[in-house]
Homo-oligomer: A and B are copies of this chain.
Amino acid sequence: MALLLPTPALADGIVDNVNGVTIADGGRVIHFKAILVDKDGRVTRLVPPGEEAPKLSRKELKKNAGKPLYDWRVDMGGKTVLPGFVDAHGHVLEMGFGALSLDLSMTKSLDEAKSRIAAYIAGNPDRKWVLGRGWNQEAWGLGRFPTAADLESVSGGHPIWLSRADGHAGWANREAMREAEVTGATVSPAGGRIEKTGGAPAGVFVDGAQGLIEKVVPQPLPKERDAAFLTAQRILLGYGVTAVADMGTTLDDWLTYRRMADIGGLRVRIMSYAMGVETASRIGGKGPTPWLYNDHLRMGGVKLYADGALGSRGAWLLKPYSDAPGQSGLGFLTDDQLQNQMSRAAMDGFQVAVHAIGDKANQEVLDAIQVESETYTGDRRWRIEHAQIVDPTDLPRFGKFGTIASMQPTHETSDRTMAEARLGPNRLAGAYAWKSMLTNGAKLAFGTDFPVEKPDPFATWAAAFTRQDADGQPQGGWQPQELVTREQAWWAMTGAAAYAGFAEKQFGALAPGQRADFIVVDRDPTMASPTDLRATKVSETWIGGEKVWVRK
């Protein structure tokens, strides 16, 4: 039966009267004055600035006589509209838990941190365990790791467990170590290090050693997970981030996303990378899940770890740390182990994303990609996460096998002095080498590694084309030969970040056929000075043609 449909409106909806700016692959900036959106929340057309009201043929005009042209219309009053940002590397639930727990990230000294901890304990007397995050002995100018003894005067008998800003070390007090039965006799597990003083555990546990304490930390309840998710989502939407790669989704993280999505609470789009091959397989079975919930969720890949982080000297270096001559960091996996895990993921069609910070770790992963690419051909998009310190001779290898460098510009501005201390002056040529990645033909995707850094895309953007921090330091930018252009940075935070997650058909660019994910901001970031750009405020966030967040 042929249905007799009424003459349809020209579009289901129009977001009208905007100063629209977006970017296409290759760096072309596109201006538009309106977005047409269909029933499924996809962009059907961007109306160029010069174009008047839609030009209709005589016949169309007759058909549409007396009828509105659109089912709905929103007038933005000339405000600037941009594509939603895609964060290529973050940790959704960690950010939510962090926001709901003790936050030490803004503390400037050990004493300030201790005051915060004491205040938190006073304000939360019912919580047996005191959990927190964000400390950084570098930011405190402490010149050493903090110790369990430092917490003695504030604990009030509570076990305390505090995660370092980079998540690669934890700080425990005496009570926490007692609960975990960690003593001077406890040996550091493979891939981890127990800091010691005079044979006794000092309080800090690096990388794999964190598990010694974490195994006795009470697990969050599902309702606490839900609260953490909603908190994280609110933060992301408030920064104009409409999609993220969740790097290391656990089974319970995944159950949380589904629980939220099942009741319509998942608004931000999540490209999920399972924590390890087994989790990927338990969730996806023989391969990635389909895109679920109208392109809001997909488990498409696996997150693996080749090493730790620079701050805690867990990053795996070719030569010893300049500020700790006996140490070269930690390789988490042997070459065989890494390749075995990559094979297991790749043979089921999962994308592989490997954390590599140090030059030795990056070399190991590049070697593994080379080997794996012989067997697993086609469009694999091998990802190296962070690719922070790379031996200059290895840089060209990023251009091969479709490798993606997934990097975080704000790490450079936050960590440059620490990196200089760890590496010395002669190993910086391949550090945070964004421009070299592009020059060598690698795909470059930008993210923030939230909650290690705030998921602030404007800070990322400004850092990327200045290599200066918020105070404009250093003059002229740090290692300025590795600057990228404003357009290159923007694409790395939108279309390329979606591409890095096999999502380029779904979102990333504000263009016909893509989901209508966009944000309303208070200035035009393509025209703003770096300082002004950093101050950009998002007033509305739209996902799939629906307004999902408004600044209050």
Listed in ascending order, the chain A residues whose CB lies under 8 Å from chain B are: 1, 3-6, 9, 67-68, 71, 221-223, 225-226, 251-252, 255-256, 258-259, 262-263, 281-286, 289-290, 292
Q: A6-B3, A67-B1 are in contact. Are A262 and B289 (CB under 8 A)?
A: yes
Question: Would B282 and A223 count as touching, CB distance under 8 A?
Answer: no
Asked if residues B255 and A286 are in contact (CB atoms below 8 Å), the reply is: no
**Contact A225 to B262, CB < 8 A, known contacts A6-B4, A71-B1, A251-B251:** no
Closest to A4 in B: B6
| In the complex with contacts A1-B67, A1-B68, A223-B286 CB distance below 8 A | yes
Is A223 within 8 A of B285, CB to CB?
yes
Whether B9 pairs with A1 at a CB distance below 8 angstroms is: yes
CA distance A251 to B254 in the complex (A): 12
Q: Tell me the complex Cα distance, A4–B290, Å.
A: 36
Contacts of A6 in B (CB 8 A): 3-6
- Is A259 a contact partner of B284 (Cβ separation < 8 A)? yes
Q: Is the CB of B285 within 8 A of A225?
A: yes
Contact partner of A289 (CB less than 8 A), chosen from B5, B67, B68, B259, is: B259
Instruction: Please name all residues of chain B whose beta carbon is closer than 8 Å to the beta carbon of A289 when the two chains form the complex.
Output: 259, 262
Contacting residues, chain B, for A226 (C-beta < 8 A)? 285-286
Chain B residue with minimal CB distance to A298?
B262
| CB-nearest residue of chain B to A72 | B1
Find chain B residues with CB under 8 A from A221 CB: 281
* Chain B residues whose CB sits within 8 angstroms of the CB of A67 once the complex forms: 1
User: In the complex, A67→B285 CA distance in Å?
Assistant: 47
Asked whether B262 lies within 8 Å of A282 as measured between CB atoms, the reply is no
- With beta carbons under 8 angstroms apart, the residue of B1, B4, B282 that contacts A222 is B282
* Central interface residue in A3, A6, A68, A222, by most chain B CB within 10 Å: A222
Q: Nearest-CB distance from A118 to chain B (Å)?
A: 33
A263 to B222, CA, bound (A): 26
Contact of A255 among B5, B68, B282 (CB under 8 A): B282
CA distance A256 to B283 in the complex (A): 8
A–B Cβ pairs within 8 angstroms, 25 of them: A1-B9, A1-B67, A1-B68, A1-B71, A3-B6, A4-B6, A5-B6, A222-B281, A222-B284, A222-B285, A222-B286, A223-B285, A223-B286, A225-B285, A226-B286, A251-B251, A252-B282, A255-B282, A255-B283, A256-B285, A259-B283, A259-B284, A259-B285, A262-B289, A262-B290
* Residue numbers in B under 8 Å from A282 (CB-CB): 222, 252, 255
The 9 A-B pairs of least Cβ separation, nearest first, read: A4-B6, A222-B285, A259-B285, A223-B286, A222-B281, A226-B285, A1-B68, A262-B290, A3-B6
CA distance A262 to B284 in the complex (A): 10
Contacts of A223 in B (CB 8 A): 285-286
Residues on the B chain within 8 Å of A259, using CB? 283-285, 289
- How far is it, in angstroms, between the C-alpha of A6 and the C-alpha of B67 when the chains are bound? 17
CB distance from A6 to the nearest CB of B (A): 4
Chain B nearest CB from A230 CB (Å) reads 12
Known contacts A222-B281, A222-B284, A226-B285; can you find 17 more A-B pairs with CB under 8 A? A1-B9, A4-B6, A5-B6, A6-B6, A222-B285, A222-B286, A223-B285, A223-B286, A225-B285, A255-B282, A256-B285, A258-B258, A259-B284, A259-B289, A262-B290, A262-B292, A263-B290
